[in-house]
């Protein structure tokens, strides 16, 4: 198995969290549950002319090979055969609209054909990536494409997202939506609308996902922590609240997650 990550150089680094490439042609389980992070992505299958859509653990159907994966607040199931030759980009919160020319919440919890967003450029990008022989060359090509797309429209690269949203991202989830909205001078309703359009999720949902993600990272750590202690440290009211939120976002309980850590990725859980 080969997995590579790359941090982009300026100005892309203000918009992109990471570029990644996966070559895992032989995985010993068929499906993986991917936990929500709240970040938008673009993925391209370079091995074959489709990705497999798995709306549940029993169903599978062919889908376009290049897709926009909107910010998610629920888990999704993937077929591991798609990991054989796959490349993607994870956008920073508020960074995706610069490449979409549309509000991020239009893509929330959806997987859409990339050609519906980027037109024929998406097909050309995938064709060019497939012709390159090395993972590093493919990452170079993808990064160059994204840089050109960003800089071809100066208004896109001027500000990664609204200043109020950037401020909120530094204050959540420690501060409430009302507190952050008041600090920006906006009404809670107006602030929530702009945040949702920039990030893809409503601010209260975003905060819940980030608390969940903090707990996931702690559960993945080598040092075991009692669930009651972990719940309080991650901002949940009590263990019951923690357990309910964990199942709502992941579809499994905390013990099942801890016992299923068979992949290198914190947010990927093998399914039966």
List pLDDT tens digits, range 67-108: 999 999 999 999 999 999 999 999 999 999 999 989 999 999
Neighbours of 167 (CB within 10 A): 13
pLDDT at 271: 84
pLDDT of residue 60: 87
Clarify whether residues 65 and 134 are in a common domain.
yes
> 69 or 162: which carries more pLDDT confidence?
69
Its pTM stands at 0.92
Please tell me whether residues 188 and 235 are part of one structural domain: no
pLDDT score for 25 = 86
- Separation of alpha carbons 19 and 103, rounded Å: 22
13 with 146, same domain: the answer is yes
DSSP 79-145: EGGGGGSEEEEEEPTTTTHHHHSS-GGGGTT-EEETHHHHTHHHHHHHHHHHH--SHHHHHHHHHHH
* Total domains in the fold of the chain: 3
Overall average pLDDT of the 139-165 stretch: 80
113 and 196, same domain (yes or no): no
Residue-range definition of the domain harbouring residue 192: 163-201
Q: Please check whether residues 150 and 169 belong to one and the same domain.
A: no
Residues 109 and 192 in one domain: no
**Can you give the C-alpha Rg of the chain in angstroms?**
19
Average pLDDT, the chain: 91
Q: The domain that contains 257 carries what CATH number? A: 1.10.10.60
Does the structure show a pLDDT above 80 at 29?
yes
Give the residue among 111, 93, 68 at the shortest CA–CA distance from 203.
93
Q: Please indicate, yes or no, whether residues 88 and 179 belong to a single structural domain of this protein.
A: no
Give pLDDT tens digits for 193-231. 999 999 999 999 999 999 999 999 988 886 778 899 989
């Amino acid at each position: 198995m080969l997995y590579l990550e790359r941090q982009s150089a300026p100005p892309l680094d203000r918009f992109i969290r990471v570029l990644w490439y996966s070559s895992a042609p032989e995985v010993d389980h068929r499906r993986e549950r991917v936990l929500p992070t709240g970040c938008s992505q673009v993925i391209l299958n370079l091995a074959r002319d489709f990705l497999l859509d798995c709306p549940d653990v029993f169903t599978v159907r062919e889908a376009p090979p290049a897709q926009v994966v909107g910010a998610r607040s629920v888990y999704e199931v993937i077929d591991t055969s798609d990991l054989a030759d796959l490349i993607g980009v994870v956008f920073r919160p508020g960074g995706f609209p610069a490449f979409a020319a549309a509000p991020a919440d239009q893509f929330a919890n959806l997987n859409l054909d990339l050609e519906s967003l980027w037109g024929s450029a998406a097909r050309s990008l995938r064709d060019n990536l497939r012709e390159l022989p090395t993972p590093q060359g493919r990452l170079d090509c993808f990064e160059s494409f994204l840089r050109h797309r960003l800089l071809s429209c100066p208004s896109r690269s001027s500000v990664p997202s609204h200043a109020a949203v950037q401020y909120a991202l530094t204050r959540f989830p420690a501060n409430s939506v009302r507190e952050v909205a008041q600090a920006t001078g906006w009404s809670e309703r107006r602030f929530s609308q702009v945040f949702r359009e920039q990030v893809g999720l409503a601010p209260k949902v975003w905060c819940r996902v980030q608390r969940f993600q903090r707990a996931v990272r702690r559960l993945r750590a080598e040092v075991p922590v009692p669930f009651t202690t972990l719940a309080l440290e991650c901002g949940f009211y009590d263990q019951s609240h923690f357990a309910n939120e964990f199942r709502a976002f992941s579809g499994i309980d905390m013990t099942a997650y801890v016992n299923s850590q068979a992949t290198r990725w914190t947010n990927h859980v093998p399914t039966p």
